[in-house]
Amino acid sequence: MNRSKMYFLLPAGLFSLTLASGLFLTSSNINAETATANASVIVPAACTFSSALDSAHSAEINNNTYRTDIGTTTFNIICNDTEGFSLYAVGYANEEFGNTKLLATIGGVLTPAKDIVTGTAESGSTSNWAMKLKTISGQASPTIESGFSTYHSVPNTYTKVATLTNATSTSGVSVQSTYAAFISGTQPAGTYNGKVKYTMVHPANETPLQPQTATSGCINYFPNGSGVVGTMGCQSITSSATSATLLASNFSREGYGFAGWSNKYDYATNPNQEGIKFYGPQEDITFTAGQYTGTNNGLSLYAVWVKSQGSLQDSSKVATLCGTGAGSLTIAPTNGTANLASVSALTDERDNQTYAIAKLADGKCWMIENLRLESTNSDNSTGALAQGYGTSATYGNFSGLATAESANFSDSTTANSLYYSGTQDGTASIDIGTTNYPVYRMPRYNNANTSARASSPTVNTGAMYSYGNYYTWHAAIADTTAYTSNNTSVTNTSLCPAGWHLPKGGNKSNEANNDFWSLIVTGINGGTNPANYESSTEPYYTGSPEGSDASKAIRAYPNNFLYSGIFYTSSAYYRGSYGFYWSSTAYNYGLSYYLLLRSSRVSPGTDYNNYKYIGGSIRCTTGT
């Protein structure tokens, strides 16, 4: 007598309702008053997916017998997405993605040679088993995909088995799966166990994530989602290598922020599985020699995407996410532990770029991607778009990042100028000079990061999307003069979105007000100052192992700082080996403090040996 068992893994669904209301009051004159009240309701697309066992997934089948009732399951789907949903299935025996067999246990011992393969459950020379689906209820019945309305082989990759192009039925729909097997006369007595994994996705044109095979001797980076732009090649690993610095991301996805790399394709939907890891985009990883150079044995890493939850300029949304009450982010762990509860994503209204954000060890929210603000025609006369702007005579109105100025350089070159003025038309109010020497202009540099990128980078020196754009210090703080005479002072203006600001820097005397220093000391060194702190007038983490440990940690999840290098005149330098991030604190009229990181050193906003016209990276943070 033979026994066959099947088990099923089902993901959970979520449903949410967001209500927003606004009240606007106006007065017409002293003798009469009018009032209007507007209310709006936002109903997000959301679907639930649940299952009910109709019968036990086991049966006793004699040899040379065809059996159709090896258990049935009903999937109940309630979905309000006007673009519908799709149901996918894949073999999952022994928790192995794509394994379509019924695994044989003969005499209490696993016996792979006797496994039952999938087929159509028809009689023949070998045993085989199959699945089929049918719609059993619903106002709008899903379409069963070709072949799956009769007994069909269990697919070895995620395969669409049913779809509904418009899923606005509030009563939901139900789809039933049924299983059958044929047992040949030569099949020995034993127990045979298999599994099918089902996933529902919406809208209907969405595709579920699935594992990919990395090329041997390579770290392969996979886009891991629909609508992802950009490609990445193979990062070579030699047989003797025991470590590697991961590549920055060359991927982008509209409406999503990039949070890092994971070794599991389904990290976002199944973050608690055994062996899961979450890496920063340029984290250092270690492994044993030859671990990824065997046959079909490369390392597969998958982009982790976080969907935008609204606007970076929405003060209420930011206050909720970055606060301590209900709906707030948790402080992100610093050991690579998978935890998307500490990560969200918000969209910049100025150019619709979405950035992942996280609450880091200092308790503040940080953008964990480099700023890549491009040209925008948005005016900032109300101060709503960029931090610190308004009708100030000193800083004027923010008119965005303008196109290249033909007087000095053309659209084909690598630098664009920032336009600021005291009027709302965006007319430049500064004389950027007549030469191409960068000290006479306040540019935003771009070296194939956003509008263009390397086709498939394989090393960190390539043009990576996530390196972002490069900005002079004057551009970063939105200064309108070629030089600023401020000395160790903090500017209140920046290119950061309203409600966000450039991190403050400074020397040892003002460490309490240094955002970089607070983050690194708190998040990396447990609140303890570096070993050479008392003897150094410019404290920093350096040497081994302290310096290298600090560098690894600031580049690891959740901090995600990058070796994005610098930009000067017409070229990028030190990409893949140095990180250079502006603070809002000036040293003197020509120099400014910044965060510097390299493999053996982290200087948290306490250096000042570079000029303000160098192109550096920008990270924005919240708080005061």
- DSSP letter, residue 318: H
Q: Most distant CA pair in the chain: distance in Å?
A: 98
Query: Can you tell me the mean pLDDT for 405-429?
Result: 30
Q: How confident is the model at residue 137 (pLDDT cuts 50, 70, 90)?
A: confident
User: Does the pLDDT value for residue 504 go beyond 80?
Assistant: yes
Tell whether the model's pLDDT for residue 298 goes beyond 90. Answer: yes
Residue 212 has pLDDT above 80, yes or no: yes
Q: Which pLDDT score, from 0 to 100, does residue 90 have?
A: 94
pLDDT band for position 206 (50/70/90)? confident
Angle in degrees, 0-180, between the axes of helices 548-555 and 515-524, rounded to the nearest 10: 100
Give residue 284's pLDDT band: very low, low, confident or very high (50, 70, 90): very high
Of 504 and 136, more confident: 504
Is the separation of the CB atoms in 268 and 304 below 8 Å?
yes
Taking 90 as the threshold, does the pLDDT of residue 610 lie above it?
Answer: no
Above 60 in pLDDT, residue 341?
A: yes
- Which residues are bridge partners to 22 per DSSP? 38
At residue 620, does pLDDT exceed 50?
yes
- Residue 353 or 448, more confident: 353
Task: Report the alpha-carbon distance of residue 305 to residue 50 in Å, rounded.
Answer: 25
pLDDT at position 169, please? 63
Question: Is the per-residue pLDDT at 371 higher than 80?
Answer: yes
CA angle 112, 216, 551 (to 5 degrees): 120
- Determine the Cα–Cα distance for residues 88 and 216; give it in Å rounded to an integer: 29
Give percent of the chain above pLDDT 70.
Answer: 76
Taking residues 225-242, what's their average pLDDT? 93
> Which phi-psi region, left, alpha or beta, contains residue 242 (left: φ > 0; alpha: ψ -120 to 50)?
alpha
Looking at residue 624, its pLDDT comes to 58
- List, for residues 80-126, the tens digit of each pLDDT value: 888 889 999 999 999 888 999 999 999 999 999 999 999 999 888 89
Residue-wise pLDDT for 450-477, tens only, equals 445 778 999 998 878 999 888 878 778 7
Tell me the C-alpha to C-alpha distance, in Å, between residue 54 and each of 13, 57, 152, 194, 269: 21, 9, 20, 18, 26
Give pLDDT, residue 13.
28
Q: Are 420 and 429 in contact (CB under 8 A)?
A: yes
Percentage of residues in the chain with pLDDT exceeding 90? Answer: 37
pLDDT at 270: 75
End-to-end alpha carbon distance in the chain? 73
- Among 364, 388, 345, 150, which Cα is nearest to 252's? 345
Tokens of 422: 């005291």
The alpha helices in 359-449, defined as continuous H runs, are none
What pLDDT, on a 0 to 100 scale, did the predictor assign at position 459?
A: 93
pLDDT digits (tens, 9 = 90+) for 525-567: 777 788 777 766 667 788 767 888 889 999 999 999 999 998 7
Instruction: Identify the weakest region by mean pLDDT among 314-318, 328-332, 425-429.
Output: 425-429
SS3 516: helix
> Tell me, what's the pLDDT at 544?
67
Pick from 368, 356, 372, 373: nearest CA to 561: 368
- The reported pLDDT for the residue numbered 352 is 84
pLDDT digits (tens, 9 = 90+) for 51-65: 887 777 888 888 888
Judged against a pLDDT cut of 70, whether residue 3 lies above it is answered with no
Which residues touch 30 (CB under 8 Å, ≥6 apart)? none
What is the average per-residue pLDDT within 197-208?
Answer: 88
Place 299 in a pLDDT band, splitting at 50, 70 and 90. Answer: very high
What pLDDT, on the 0 to 100 scale, is given for residue 378? 44
The predicted structure's pLDDT at residue 251: 94
Give the pLDDT of residue 494: 77
When pLDDT is cut at 50, 70 and 90, the band that residue 433 belongs to is: very low
**pLDDT confidence of residue 400:** 38
> Would the pLDDT of 5 be above 50?
no
In angstroms, the CA 195 to CA 178 distance is: 13
Q: Which of residues 432 and 32 earns the better pLDDT score? A: 32
Q: Which residue has the higher pLDDT, 230 or 412?
A: 230
Q: Radius of gyration of the chain from Cα atoms?
A: 29
